Amino acid sequence: MKLKKIATICMIVLIISTFYGCIDIKDIKDEFSNFKKSIEEHKNAEYRSAQTEAEFLVDAIERKDSQAIKAKFSTYAQSNINNLDAKIDRLIEEFPGWNDNYEVTDTSERWSNHGKITYMLTPSFDFDVDGKTYRMRIIYYTESDEDESKLGYYSIQIYERFNYEYSSDVYMHGVDDEPDILLWDYTK
């Protein structure tokens, strides 16, 4: 994807220079540098947001603050997750632990529907506890012109990984699924 953008920019520069004369190479380098910088700033902001959410969630679990966790869920999720309070209690009781050594894989999705913007982050966090590797995945909306009731947490999923692969019966909860809290004992 990045190579396509660079190739497109190079083609535009060649076409413009053909019709309008020479373009200063320094200007082109500056544009590339600014483009790369803006991409990095965007990714860093997403990473910080993902990190903040992970730290909040784990802190609330360690404090056994079920109300703080529930308040992070969107009004849509709170209305559509069956037995939300019981699932949050189970999350708190069965959470395997946490240490500062974890890997954040932050991903995001943004789309437009007739000019209305929806933006969500879907970070995953891999962490090791007592020789076992777990993955926690949070889906949360940060912007939604279409449905503001979806702003906030949409789902939390935690499962054990085996040899850094997924078990064949693990279902990866996605943004098209209904909101939920999924812990360990679910299958496709």
37-90 pLDDT, tens digit each: 665 665 667 777 777 888 888 889 989 999 999 999 999 999 999 999 999 999
DSSP letter for 130, please.
Answer: T
Burial-class residue 150 by CB neighbours within 10 Å (0-12, 13-18, 19+).
Answer: buried
| Better-scored residue on pLDDT, 19 or 131 | 131
The rounded distance, in Å, linking the Cα atoms of 84 and 180 is 8
Burial-class residue 187 by CB neighbours within 10 Å (0-12, 13-18, 19+).
Answer: exposed
Determine the residue type at 148.
Answer: E
Q: Which residue has the tokens 């449905």?
A: 147
Please give the angle made by the CA atoms of 122, 124 and 129, to the nearest 5 degrees: 155
What percent of the chain clears pLDDT 90, i.e. is strictly above it? 20
Q: Report the pLDDT value the prediction gives residue 137, as an integer from 0 to 100.
A: 86
